[in-house]
A and B are shown apart, each in its own frame.
Chain A
Amino acid sequence: MPGLIQKEMDSANRVAPGQPVIDIQGLEVAYGSVKAVQGVSLQVRQGEIFGLLGPNGAGKTTILSVLEGLVKPQAGSVKVLGYDALRDANAVKPMIGVSLQTSAFFDELKLLELVQFYAGLYEVFLSKAQALALLARFELEEKAGVRAKELSGGQQQRVALALAIANNPKIVILDEPTTGLDPQARRNVWDIIRQIRAEGRTIVLTSHYMEEAQELCHRIGIIDRGQIIALDTPGGLINSLHADSRIMVTARLPEEKVRALPGVTEVSYENEKLQVTSNDAFETMLGLQQLAVEARQLLFDLNYRQPDLEDVFITLTGRKIR
């Protein structure tokens, strides 16, 4: 999101901090001698889009698999909507909707039949009209009589999302919902996920796309080698770096006053352009506006480059995510 201050985006995106609907404490999962998840604790709140962000093999899918009742952990507790998900999986399963990395479509079934089948497994029996209405919400109405293998990647992903809410779940768990999609299809899926959330559902998703997590998620857990290494809002994560942002603006403001603004670390003029380096871009830019108002000037060509989640990941792990 170049040009936008993440802090402002966060507040626009902000959800009223809801009750935790998922509470994971001290989760440990091992496949044989491979420790996939090592001591993960996190909470997901009612009504938020929570993202697990990390490289392939970090343990994201394993955490979801525990929530879905597919994997039994070696240690830890998992509560979903107040139920013990490890002991009482049958109480939890009807309340969650799932999209796995593999799409799990039967080649022999048409979309309409596929929707009725998966809903039916939850004892939710959709009439033809109801199943069509569900497909229509994902712009798949015309494809109702088509088999999934004949659809594009983006359409298939929309089918997976339709199946994930076919049982009208309170929590929707999506494993890499946009992997392999082109940018336009990806944005389309983001819109749908936001809509699903707007219906009052809580979303948990995984991703290894930085910009996706940054734009879509209210809170992000960064996971690496089976551990949560940071957990906050995207803006909170970026601010926690205290990395310097660069602000460029065409304005003539007194250099010493700019230097005195909060967060400023360096000031210079290059070709009539004011160059400011700041470790608190939000406060610095507020201050610049204040100075401009006092000097009865406008800030032209304001340009801003902030650190992003990629910088957060590199700072935390010393590696790039991909």
Chain B
Amino acid sequence: MSVQVNPVSEPKVVGNGWRRFGVLTQTNLLIFIRNRAAMFWTILFPIVYMLLFGAIFGSQRIDEANPASVKVISFMIPGIVVMSLMSNGIIGNASAMAEWRQRGILRRVQTTPLPIWQMLVSRIIVQSAVMVVQAFLLIGIGVLVFGASFDTLGLAIAIPFIILSALMCMAIGQTVAALIAKPETVQIVCQLIFFPMLFLSGIIIPLPQLPEGLQIVGKFLPSGLMGDIIRAPLLSGYSTGAVSLTNLPFLVSLAGVIIYLLLFVIISARFFKWN
């Protein structure tokens, strides 16, 4: 083993914190794109689901007697968007955190001068961006392949609500990773949260088709509330006043998502362990 001797000197190129944050975020994106499990759950799974769903219900309308009524697919796409947000934010985020922690990555990063919150913020930015892209990929497939129709301005207005929902999902994922140590158990618990949230909240199966007792639970599940605030701008648009602080049902759903977000942020911050 011949190792060159490099005497200790000052580091050659020293930049600033922003450049470091850039490197961090670039790497986080690379890590995300290269992670096969993440790609499957966040990109492939919702698209396959979307194609299956579209193939079955693609041509149906909500009111079959009325050809002017909204297509079922238009109504369901916000639900599929919520599903992909949950899959990415809850399952993807919690598994990554649990794995990073188990492998000592979080600990190793803590020994560097990087403030550890920047590691999380960087990841949240990357994941939020991916989730917004994914949402519009799903919407695009719905429109192009299955002829779903949405309010044009509503598409833009939906973005902050998609981001808000993405943040809440990540906070749930972070909370699971905070309360449970083993990556395998984290996976199982995520599934136990994901599937009830998917099927009981009216985003995939309409609430009226559920037993009455479950309907009230479903109404206030985070997933149902997310479905409400994403569906409102997409379907009804801005002009109808559906997305408005004077629209009480919308306001209640929005407040609900924000409350859940704060709640999970507080719980995860309180209980998260780095090692």
Quick check: A124 and B13 within 8 Å, CB to CB?
A: yes
Indicate which residue in A109, A120, A137 contacts B31 across the interface (CB closer than 8 Å). A109
Asked whether A125 and B15 contact (CB < 8 A) given A100-B107, A138-B3, A199-B7, the answer is yes
* A67 (CB) vs chain B CBs: closest residue: B111
Q: Report how far A22 CA is from B131 CA in the complex, Å.
A: 47
Interface residues on B, range: 35 or more
Quick check: A168 and B11 within 8 Å, CB to CB?
A: yes
* A120 (CB) vs chain B CBs: closest residue: B23
Q: Chain A's nearest CB lies how many Å from the CB of B115?
A: 9
Contacts of A200 in B (CB 8 A): 7-8
Would you call B182 an interface residue if the criterion is a C-beta within 8 Å of the partner chain's C-beta atoms? Answer: no
Q: Chain B's nearest CB lies how many Å from the CB of A120?
A: 4
Looking at chain B's contact residues, the main secondary structure is loop
Quick check: B113 and A122 within 8 Å, CB to CB?
A: yes
Quick check: A104 and B105 within 8 Å, CB to CB?
A: yes
* A64 (CB) vs chain B CBs: closest residue: B111
**Most chain A C-beta atoms within 10 Å of own C-beta, residue among B5, B6, B14, B20:** B6
* A134 (CB) vs chain B CBs: closest residue: B6
Contacts of B35 in A (CB 8 A): 107-108
Quick check: A125 and B19 within 8 Å, CB to CB?
A: yes
Would you call A188 an interface residue if the criterion is a C-beta within 8 Å of the partner chain's C-beta atoms? Answer: yes
Q: Report how far A198 CA is from B4 CA in the complex, Å.
A: 10
Q: Report how far A108 CA is from B126 CA in the complex, Å.
A: 15
Quick check: B34 and A108 within 8 Å, CB to CB?
A: yes
B103-132 near A? 1/0 per residue, CB < 8 Å? 111011111111000000000000000000
Quick check: A121 and B113 within 8 Å, CB to CB?
A: yes
Contacts of A96 in B (CB 8 A): 111
Q: Chain B's nearest CB lies how many Å from the CB of A61?
A: 11
Indicate which residue in B1, B5, B105, B111 contacts A106 across the interface (CB closer than 8 Å). B105
Would you call B24 an interface residue if the criterion is a C-beta within 8 Å of the partner chain's C-beta atoms? Answer: yes
Quick check: A70 and B107 within 8 Å, CB to CB?
A: yes
Contacts of A62 in B (CB 8 A): none
Quick check: A93 and B113 within 8 Å, CB to CB?
A: yes
A101-144 near B? 1/0 per residue, CB < 8 Å? 11111111100010011101111111000100000011100000
Which residues 63-116 in A have Cβ within 8 Å of B in the complex?
A: 68-70, 90, 93-94, 96, 98, 100-109, 113, 116
Q: Chain A's nearest CB lies how many Å from the CB of B118?
A: 9
Q: Chain B's nearest CB lies how many Å from the CB of A197?
A: 10
* B21 (CB) vs chain A CBs: closest residue: A120
Asked whether A100 and B104 contact (CB < 8 A) given A137-B3, A137-B4, A188-B1, the answer is yes
Asked whether A117 and B27 contact (CB < 8 A) given A124-B13, A130-B12, the answer is yes
Quick check: A121 and B104 within 8 Å, CB to CB?
A: no
Asked whether A106 and B31 contact (CB < 8 A) given A116-B23, A120-B24, A199-B7, the answer is yes
Indicate which residue in A117, A124, A188, A195 contacts B5 across the interface (CB closer than 8 Å). A195
Q: Chain A's nearest CB lies how many Å from the CB of B150?
A: 35
Would you call B247 an interface residue if the criterion is a C-beta within 8 Å of the partner chain's C-beta atoms? Answer: no
Quick check: B12 and A121 within 8 Å, CB to CB?
A: no
Quick check: A103 and B104 within 8 Å, CB to CB?
A: yes
Which residues 31-60 in B have Cβ within 8 Å of A in the complex?
A: 31, 34-35
Quick check: A123 and B20 within 8 Å, CB to CB?
A: yes
Q: Report how far A9 CA is from B11 CA in the complex, Å.
A: 35
Contacts of A101 in B (CB 8 A): 104
Would you call B209 an interface residue if the criterion is a C-beta within 8 Å of the partner chain's C-beta atoms? Answer: no
Asked whether A113 and B104 contact (CB < 8 A) given A93-B111, A124-B11, the answer is no
Would you call B213 an interface residue if the criterion is a C-beta within 8 Å of the partner chain's C-beta atoms? Answer: no
Quick check: B112 and A168 within 8 Å, CB to CB?
A: no
Q: Report how far A70 CA is from B27 CA in the complex, Å.
A: 24
Quick check: A104 and B15 within 8 Å, CB to CB?
A: no
Would you call A170 an interface residue if the criterion is a C-beta within 8 Å of the partner chain's C-beta atoms? Answer: yes
Contacts of A106 in B (CB 8 A): 31, 105
Would you call A292 an interface residue if the criterion is a C-beta within 8 Å of the partner chain's C-beta atoms? Answer: no
Would you call B16 an interface residue if the criterion is a C-beta within 8 Å of the partner chain's C-beta atoms? Answer: yes
**Most chain B C-beta atoms within 10 Å of own C-beta, residue among A69, A94, A108:** A108
Quick check: B112 and A93 within 8 Å, CB to CB?
A: yes
Would you call A201 an interface residue if the criterion is a C-beta within 8 Å of the partner chain's C-beta atoms? Answer: yes
Asked whether A118 and B31 contact (CB < 8 A) given A104-B105, A106-B105, A125-B13, the answer is no
Contacts of A137 in B (CB 8 A): 3-4, 6
18 contacts between A and B (CB under 8 A): A93-B113, A100-B107, A103-B103, A104-B103, A105-B103, A105-B105, A108-B30, A113-B30, A117-B23, A118-B108, A120-B23, A120-B24, A121-B23, A121-B24, A121-B109, A123-B15, A123-B20, A188-B1
Where the two chains meet, the residues of A that have a C-beta atom closer than 8 Å to any C-beta of B are 68-70, 90, 93-94, 96, 98, 100-109, 113, 116-118, 120-126, 130, 137-139, 167-168, 170, 188, 191-192, 195, 198-201
Closest A-B pairs by Cβ, 8 of them: A102-B104, A104-B108, A120-B23, A108-B34, A121-B112, A195-B3, A200-B8, A98-B111
Extra 17 A-B pairs, beta carbons < 8 Å, given A98-B108, A100-B107, A117-B24? A69-B110, A69-B111, A70-B107, A93-B111, A100-B104, A102-B108, A106-B105, A121-B24, A125-B14, A125-B15, A126-B13, A130-B12, A168-B9, A191-B3, A192-B1, A199-B7, A199-B8
